Structure 1
């Protein structure tokens, strides 16, 4: 009888761990999904010739509000020239918080 209770306890513990991990994973939009969404949206306005995104979210403060963000970038192709831009996207909603030209130093 005790073995059944121990086994039942272990099964419930395992199910709780799996459920907790599943919920934790759903808290963030995947970086791939965020990047695809941004590329698709920007492709309607101009030609996107490249893109990248950091896979690990980080903390960001804007106007006194704290966000968890992904940092990424796209390259705009126009008149045979590439212009790089960067963005910060909210990791929870996929909303672009900032979009700005990259600061590339000529070396």
Structure 2
């Protein structure tokens, strides 16, 4: 059940990231805007009670592709349980690339 929610959240994040990319003219999404978008996406799953993001993008190489990413995390209350996730956001588009329970 948790993985289904995680996959839905990741899909929503990708859609929101691509939409955000078309509205922003700069080369990078600011870390603040990226975190705000991630919080909106995760808020669909429950109450966001905490979040963080590294302000400086880092280079990530996956499958022979290079990305600049922000690393962040979020805490959500889902029903009676508190869930924590770490994520990677594409610094250019704001799209969520990866989500992992922490």
TM-score in terms of structure 1 length: 0.67
SS of the residue corresponding to residue 42 of structure 2 reads helix
The gaps in structure 1 that reach 5 residues or longer are: 1-25, 103-107
Distance 1:87 1:94, change over 3 A: same
SS of the residue corresponding to residue 33 of structure 2 reads helix
Contact preservation (8 Å) 2:45, 2:78: no
The gaps in structure 2 that reach 5 residues or longer are: 1-25
Aligned equivalents of 2:89 and 2:78: distance in 1?
A: 24
Higher Cα Rg: structure 1 or 2?
1
Q: CA deviation at 1:80?
A: 3.5
TM-score in terms of structure 2 length: 0.70
User: Runs ≥4 in structure 1, deviation > 4 angstroms?
Assistant: none
Give the corresponding residue for 1:75: 75
Contact preservation (8 Å) 2:49, 2:75: yes
Q: CA deviation at 1:78?
A: 2.4
CA-based RMSD: 1.6
Give the corresponding residue for 1:64: 64
